[in-house]
Amino acid sequence: MNIISAIETRRSFRQFDATHEISEEEIEHLIALAMLSPTPGNTQPWRFVVVRDPVLRQEIRAAASGQTQVTDASLLIILTADLTAWRTDPERYARTTGPEMSKVLAKSMTDFYEGREWLQRDDAMKSTGLTAMTLMLAAKELGYESCPMGGFDIDAVGALINLPENHVVSMFVTIGKPLSDAYPRGGQLAIEEVLVRDRFAHA
Q: Please, are residues 69 and 14 in contact by the beta-carbon 8 Å criterion?
A: yes
Is residue 99 in some structural domain?
no
Q: What range does the domain containing 15 cover?
A: 3-86+122-194
Q: How confident is the model at residue 199 (pLDDT cuts 50, 70, 90)?
A: very high
Is residue 57 in some structural domain?
yes
End-to-end Cα separation, the chain, in angstroms: 44
Is residue 108 in some structural domain?
no
State the SS3 of 85-126. Answer: HHHCCHHHHHHHHCHHHHHHHHHHHHHHHCCCHHHHHHHHHH
Is residue 109 in some structural domain?
no
**pLDDT value, residue 105:** 83
Q: pTM higher than 0.85 for the full model?
A: yes
Determine the 3-state secondary structure of 84 from DSSP: coil
Higher-scoring residue by pLDDT: 176, 13: 176
Average confidence (pLDDT) over 17-39: 96
Q: Distance (Å, rounded) from C-alpha 196 to C-alpha 17?
A: 42
Is residue 10 in some structural domain?
yes
Is residue 115 in some structural domain?
no
Query: Is the pLDDT assigned to residue 87 strictly greater than 90?
Result: no
Name the E strands within the chain: 46-51, 75-82, 145-149, 167-176
Q: Give the percent of the chain with pLDDT over 70.
A: 99
Is residue 79 in some structural domain?
yes
Number of folded domains in the chain? 1
Residues in the chain: 203
Higher-scoring residue by pLDDT: 191, 96: 191
Sign of CA dihedral 68, 52, 176, 78: positive
**pLDDT value, residue 1:** 66
Is residue 74 in some structural domain?
yes
Q: What is the CATH number of the domain that holds 127?
A: 3.40.109.10
